[in-house]
Amino acid sequence: TKTISKCYVQVTGMTCASCVANIERNLRREDGIHSILVALMAGKAEVRYNPAVIHPSAIAELIRELGFGATVMENCGEGDGILELVVRGMTCASCVHKIESTLMKTNGVLYCSVALATNKAHIKYDPETVGPRDVIQVIQDLGFATSLVKKDRSASHLDHKQEIRQWKRSFVVSLIFCIPVMGLMIYMMVMDSQLADAHAHHNMSSEEMEALHSSMVLEYQLLPGLSVMNFLSFLLCVPVQMFGGWHFYIQAYKALKHKTANMDVLIVLATTIAFAYSFVILLVAMAEKAKVNPVTFFDTPPMLFVFISLGRWLEHVAKGKTSEALARLISLQATEATIVTLGPDNVLLSEEQVDVELVQRGDIVKVIPGGKFPVDGHVIEGHSMVDESLITGEAMPVTKKPGNTVIAGSINQNGSLLISATHVGADTTLSQIVKLVEEAQTSKAPIQQFADKLSGYFVPSIVAVSVITLFAWIIIGFVDFEIVEKYFLGYNKSISAAEVIIRFAFQASITVLCIACPCSLGLA
């Protein structure tokens, strides 16, 4: 007998079923090619050939000559079938050994492992020679009850409802408290600019200026050193920091635990420091009974949280939309198939209902009018019209006669068909579409990976820069106090020079941290 080998070729440039038919028809004519099976969505051809006559690179070349891109795939494990079974009735290690050794002797079983504790069997097989029903039969013949591990067909793992809820809540909380903070800020800006105008026109002395400044409603001090503005900002900032930023804190903690710095770490760092610094400065001002209200950063956290939680919320809503479409796709899959046994001249001998997962390549499947095609295959007998709109978008029913291919998930309309299964399980067109969408959802956009990578370097460098700022100002201050005095207006003359310098240096370094928190990066 001549030996038959099998290879997989990655084929690019196929657009529709006629491309597939074209490749299959042309390659079957070649010497040394035993059979060929092309999967359109996976972009993969499985070729069985006689290595004495032809080798894989020549096969790829033949496909290239037809005008498609083709490369031989190195890892041939791609085409192996994988089966997960629940096995009942095992009592000890010898049962496990008995099942494993019997299965390994079975032709076509490549690997098998049975776990006594979980009652599960994991089997890899070659779908060419053996199928899931044969494997189950072997185990049942040994006297054990066995069934398929039920797969969750509902795509619930792709459901983003929970994330959508949590980010929406986070956004709403932040927004409620952010609007007043922004209002206060704008009011302050307007008043400040009016003051500056007044100052420019009337050449007031700085004492009068102070008096005018403190006569403003928001600058009025409730307690010495605590203005209405700062007090309100503080009150509005606390809930945002606690509830709006909750999820950010969790993510940041997880990232730091793995010694990485992502966007969340930056956001948490900037908001926490802005909040903590402002809080401490207020306490210091109150302790000193300061005349001039300190500059606080209570406006930073709410605004930052609002924008970023809005971004996250929108992102999950968009992902959820795709998942809905995917869940609908998954729901198109048939759950059962009717397998028939044919005698000579295609006479029906028997038929049985089995789970879709148990359909093997080469099985003859009967599809009644109104039924769904459980697997991809080609028609052996019967004529019918088939609605393929959910896969191809073709609104008109397509005529099927012997030799035509059918797609899993499409609906048979008026005639009964017998089809021979070519692609089953995870290889059907529908499963491949589902897999592609899942991959697209789980992989990050390149730009997003780049932003994460950047923020990995960005966080440490910003922290470093702000530390440098801190020390630089402390040094400048002790060398030349006048410079600090020039920029640090209205400090209390009663406090020592050293304290002024350190406070100013802290203010400068915190400003660097808050402003450099790459809001733009996170938002984008």
Strand partners, 398: 386
The pLDDT score that the predictor gives to residue 61 is 92
- 211-248 pLDDT, tens digit per residue, is 555 556 666 777 777 778 888 888 888 888 888 788 88
pLDDT over 90 percentage in the chain: 17
- 394-411 pLDDT, tens digit per residue, is 889 999 999 899 999 899
Q: Indicate whether 457 pLDDT > 60.
A: yes
The pLDDT score that the predictor gives to residue 64 is 92
The pLDDT score that the predictor gives to residue 493 is 60
Q: What is the mean pLDDT of residues 452-464?
A: 77
pLDDT over 70 percentage in the chain: 87
- 45-86 pLDDT, tens digit per residue, is 889 899 889 988 999 999 999 899 999 987 655 567 788 899
446: exposed, middle or buried (C-beta count within 10 Å: 0-12, 13-18, 19+)? exposed
Q: Indicate whether 419 pLDDT > 90.
A: yes
The fold adopted by the segment(s) 333-429 is 2.70.150
Q: Indicate whether 186 pLDDT > 80.
A: yes
Phi and psi at residue 160, in whole multiples of 5°? -100, 20
Q: Indicate whether 310 pLDDT > 70.
A: yes
Q: What is the mean pLDDT of residues 468-473?
A: 90
The pLDDT score that the predictor gives to residue 203 is 64
Give Dmax over CA atoms of the chain in angstroms: 113
What's the pLDDT band for 252 if we cut at 50, 70, 90?
Answer: confident
Kindly report the CATH number that applies to the domain delimited by 81-148: 3.30.70.100
Q: What is the mean pLDDT of residues 112-136?
A: 88
Phi and psi at residue 480, in whole multiples of 5°? -140, 95
The pLDDT score that the predictor gives to residue 213 is 59
Closest CA to 127 of 359, 351, 334: 359
Q: Are 274 and 297 in contact (CB under 8 A)?
A: yes
Q: What is the mean pLDDT of residues 449-459?
A: 73
- 473-514 pLDDT, tens digit per residue, is 888 888 887 777 777 665 556 567 777 787 788 778 877 776
- For the ranges 138-147, 155-164, 212-221, 303-312, the lowest mean pLDDT is seen at 212-221
Q: What is the mean pLDDT of residues 257-262?
A: 73
Task: Write out the DSSP string of 317-373.
Answer: HHHHHHHHHHHHHHHTS-SEEEEEEE-GGG-EEEEEEEEGGG--TT-EEEE-TTPBP
The pLDDT score that the predictor gives to residue 192 is 73
List the domain boundaries for the chain: 5-73, 81-148, 157-323+445-516, 333-429
Distance CA(233)–CA(236), nearest Å, equals: 5
Kindly report the CATH number that applies to the domain delimited by 5-73: 3.30.70.100
Strand partners, 124: 82, 111
288: exposed, middle or buried (C-beta count within 10 Å: 0-12, 13-18, 19+)? middle
Q: Indicate whether 468 pLDDT > 90.
A: yes
The pLDDT score that the predictor gives to residue 494 is 58
Q: Are 132 and 144 in contact (CB under 8 A)?
A: no
User: What single letter denotes the amino acid at residue 417?
Assistant: L
- 312-353 pLDDT, tens digit per residue, is 888 788 777 777 777 777 777 888 899 999 888 878 888 899
The pLDDT score that the predictor gives to residue 293 is 72
Number of other CB atoms surrounding residue 507 within 10 Å: 20
Q: What is the mean pLDDT of residues 16-24?
A: 84
- 85-107 pLDDT, tens digit per residue, is 999 988 888 889 999 999 999 88
Q: What is the mean pLDDT of residues 30-57?
A: 87
The pLDDT score that the predictor gives to residue 322 is 73
- 427-437 pLDDT, tens digit per residue, is 888 888 878 87
Q: Indicate whether 265 pLDDT > 90.
A: no
Asked whether the domain spanning 81-148 has the same topology as the one spanning 5-73, the reply is: yes
Q: Indicate whether 452 pLDDT > 80.
A: no
